[in-house]
Amino acid sequence: MSLNNTSTKSIILSGWIENDLARTKTNAKRSFSWKSVDLLKPLRMRLNSIEIDRPKLAHRICRLIPAQCPFARKIQLFGRTIANIPPLCKINPLYEDLMALRFRALCYLADECGEDISAYC
């Protein structure tokens, strides 16, 4: 009868240990998880807070931020393409914010000032 009680206690003990280990692993994952830290958030907020209220500013933004990636190149030798460098602008973490700023400047010029923006496209 004592053998039966001992084996029952060990099963309960092993079940308790497995549950405890599972909780410990879960808590360890929670305590060591990396929190996403956006180091560029202040710069993003600064870009998004730029108020475009002057045509001169809008023209300057449209000239400084290109419509297409200037880094995309085809390297040719004797008329044959030997290498193709893809556009690397999408790797830039501020790409979306810069394009949004350029778009706001273009919209300001077209809607508020009534100017032709085809030179910037």
Q: What is the pLDDT along the chain (121 residues), one digit of tens a residue?
A: 445 555 444 445 455 555 555 555 555 555 555 668 888 899 999 999 999 999 999 999 999 998 888 778 888 899 899 988 888 887 888 899 999 999 999 999 999 999 999 998 8
pTM (two decimals) = 0.62
Are residues 18 and 43 located together in one domain of the fold?
no
d(C-alpha 26, C-alpha 20), whole Å? 10
Distance between CA atoms of residues 115 and 24, nearest Å: 65
Query: How many alpha carbons fall within 13 Å on the CB side of residue 24?
Result: 6
Which residue segment(s) compose the domain that 28 sits in?
1-33
22 and 64 housed in the same domain: no
DSSP designation for 119: G
